[in-house]
Amino acid sequence: MHISDNGSMDEQKLNFGYHEKWVRYGLLDREIYQAQLKAAEADEDGIPDEHYRYATFRRWFMNRQSASLDELDRYMELAIEDVDSPMGGSALASLLERHWLTDDQFDHVAKRVLAHGDWTEKIIMRHKLLRALKADALSDELFQECLEQGDGHVHEPLLDRKDLTRSMAQALTEHGANRQIRQEASNLLQHRRNWPDHE
Give the span between the Cα atoms of 119 and 20, in whole angstroms. Answer: 30
User: Where are the alpha helices (H) located in the chain, listed in sequence order?
Assistant: 20-24, 30-42, 49-62, 69-81, 85-95, 103-114, 120-135, 140-149, 152-158, 166-175, 179-191
Closest to 125 (Cα-Cα) out of 100, 105, 102, 96: 96
Radius of gyration for the chain, computed over Cα atoms and rounded to the nearest angstrom: 22
pLDDT at position 46: 84
Q: What is the pTM of this model?
A: 0.83
pLDDT per residue of the chain (199 residues) written in tens, 0 to 9: 343 433 345 555 789 999 999 999 999 999 999 999 999 988 888 899 999 999 999 999 999 999 999 999 999 999 999 999 999 999 999 999 999 999 999 999 999 998 888 888 999 999 999 999 999 899 999 999 999 999 999 999 999 999 999 999 999 999 999 999 999 999 999 999 999 876 5
pLDDT at position 86: 92
Give the span between the Cα atoms of 10 and 20, in whole angstroms. Answer: 9
pLDDT at position 6: 37
pLDDT at position 198: 61
